[in-house]
């Protein structure tokens, strides 16, 4: 005797249940990780970040090694002038990848709630950037070793001074990757997002500092504090992502003249705001508006 035929609704319900079990946050994270690690550009930008960190630190340490009071640890953060750009651009590409390639259609068909995709991108970007940041910081340490050796000095990283600096460098690099992701997810266009992120973190501070220097009269009598224009520029630069992030790496140095002395914790909070605000805007846009 043959088994009775199932009703037409049974397979649909079964498929619906299977689909519900299939779309878990862990699987979304795994999917985003696969996307990230399957791109050659991810590893290229990671390699560039590590190489730039080593090269700039090596050059800076060797240039400083002729100074009588040379401290090799003083050159440890030299690579952070340009190294964060690689991870920031990587974050932008992760945030815009779905929209520039058109894969958002299949992605949001599989994950209709959308927000888990953005959350998963945050997780995989932070994880990948953390690995690259550790390698970049390690490369910076290797960059100061030859200069230290030429002066007969040893590089001791176990003291109370180097450990916070190394931790701050790592957090700064990871933070810049997340900032790039937030800008990319909000703007959804790679070129537009890269230009915006680079302008805010690199171009704007340089332009402001140059404008401040040009507006200052070098023949003016010395004052007790910085001129008002310089104080305003220093405050703005300190509150930009790169300025705030750099405070994470300088725990023993007070604030810039005329700017609020935020310290490492304050700098980290400001950098966090630069990440969370555009990320929240991206989440609202993703949730409330059509994907285009």
Q: Where residue 2 falls among pLDDT bands split at 50, 70, 90?
A: very low
What contacts 270, CB < 8 A, 6 or more positions away?
Answer: 239, 241, 244, 262
Q: Where residue 187 falls among pLDDT bands split at 50, 70, 90?
A: very high
pLDDT score for 217: 65
| Alpha-carbon gap, residue 241 to 262, rounded angstroms | 13
Percent of the chain residues topping a pLDDT of 90: 56
pLDDT score for 99: 86
Q: Which of 142, 160, 133, 166 is nearest to 249 (CA)?
A: 166
Residue in the block written with tokens 């190394």 = 166
User: How many Cβ atoms sit within 10 Å of the Cβ of residue 189?
Assistant: 14
The answer to whether 237 and 243 are in contact (CB under 8 A) is yes
| Alpha-carbon gap, residue 8 to 78, rounded angstroms | 67
pLDDT score for 272: 97
Does residue 16 have a pLDDT over 50?
A: no
DSSP tally for the chain: helices H, then strands E? 12, 0
pLDDT score for 220: 63
Question: What would the two tokens of residue 225 be?
Answer: 């504090």
Greater model confidence, 114 or 214: 114
What contacts 24, CB < 8 A, 6 or more positions away?
Answer: none
pLDDT score for 15: 45
Half-sphere exposure of 156 (CA within 13 A, CB side): 8
pLDDT score for 198: 95
Q: Provide the mean pLDDT of the chain.
A: 86
Integer angstrom CA distances of residue 113 from 32, 33, 105? 15, 19, 13
| DSSP conformational letter for 252 | T
pLDDT score for 133: 97
Average pLDDT over residues 207-217: 78
pLDDT score for 47: 97
The answer to whether 171 and 264 are in contact (CB under 8 A) is no
Q: Where residue 8 falls among pLDDT bands split at 50, 70, 90?
A: very low
């Amino acid at each position: 005797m043959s088994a009775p035929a199932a009703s037409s609704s049974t397979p649909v319900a079964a498929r619906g249940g299977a689909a519900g079990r299939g779309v878990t946050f862990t699987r979304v994270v795994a999917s985003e990780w696969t996307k990230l690690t399957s791109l050659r550009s991810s590893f290229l930008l990671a390699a560039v970040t590590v190489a730039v960190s080593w090269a700039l630190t090596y050059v800076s340490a060797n240039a400083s090694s002729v100074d009588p009071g040379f401290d090799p640890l003083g050159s440890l953060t030299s690579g952070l002038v340009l190294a964060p750009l690689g991870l920031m651009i990587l974050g932008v590409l992760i945030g815009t990848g779905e929209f520039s390639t058109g894969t958002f259609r299949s992605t949001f068909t599989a994950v209709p709630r959308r927000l888990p995709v953005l959350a998963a991108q945050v997780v995989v970007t932070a994880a990948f950037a953390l690995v690259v940041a550790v390698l970049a910081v390690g490369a910076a340490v290797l960059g100061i070793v030859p200069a230290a050796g030429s002066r007969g000095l040893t590089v001791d990283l176990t003291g109370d001074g180097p450990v916070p600096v190394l931790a701050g460098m790592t957090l700064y690099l990871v933070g810049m990757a997340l900032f790039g992701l937030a800008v990319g997810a909000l703007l959804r266009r790679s070129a537009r997002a890269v230009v915006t992120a680079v302008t805010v973190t690199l171009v704007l501070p340089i332009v402001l500092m140059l404008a401040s220097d040009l507006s200052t009269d070098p023949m003016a009598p010395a004052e007790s504090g910085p001129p008002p224009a310089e104080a305003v520029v220093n405050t703005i630069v300190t509150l930009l992502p790169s300025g705030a992030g750099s405070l994470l790496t300088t725990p023993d140095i007070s604030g810039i003249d005329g700017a609020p002395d935020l310290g490492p914790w304050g700098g980290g909070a400001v950098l966090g705001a630069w990440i969370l605000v555009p990320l929240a805007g991206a989440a609202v846009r993703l949730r409330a508006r059509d994907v285009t």
